[in-house]
Amino acid sequence: MDKLMLQNWIGLEVKIISSPNILLVGKRGKIIDETLNTIVLRTKNKDIIVPKKGVILKHKNHILNLSQAICKPEDRTKKLYKSWLIRWQRKEKEFIPQEG
């Protein structure tokens, strides 16, 4: 998981690289707000409300899959960290030698 998924996104300059709405693909701008299901992207011409479901953004060399972040911004870190921790613990159990 990219560490950027755990951080605040307000102010990030991003580009939409994938979306169920083909008209959004290629749009660039700055994230100015985030809600449970959307982000607001400020482009040169206007503010665009972008649904998180199915959208992938690029920020510099980071990829943000917004489908993984359908939650309140203040809960995103907790939600994603817990899911990462569970996966990590499962991997650790696979590598622990069994006694007996």
The position carrying tokens 């040169």 is: 44
* pLDDT at residue number 69: 86
Instruction: Please give the structure tokens belonging to residue 48.
Output: 């665009």
| CATH number among 3.40.50.620, 2.30.30.210, 2.60.260.20, 3.20.20.450, domain 3-95 | 2.30.30.210
pTM above the 0.85 mark? Answer: no
pLDDT in tens, the chain (100 residues): 567 877 889 999 999 999 999 999 999 999 999 999 999 999 999 999 999 999 999 999 999 999 988 888 888 777 777 776 777 677 666 655 555 5
**69-79 as b/e: b if 16+ CB within 10 A:** beeeeeebeee
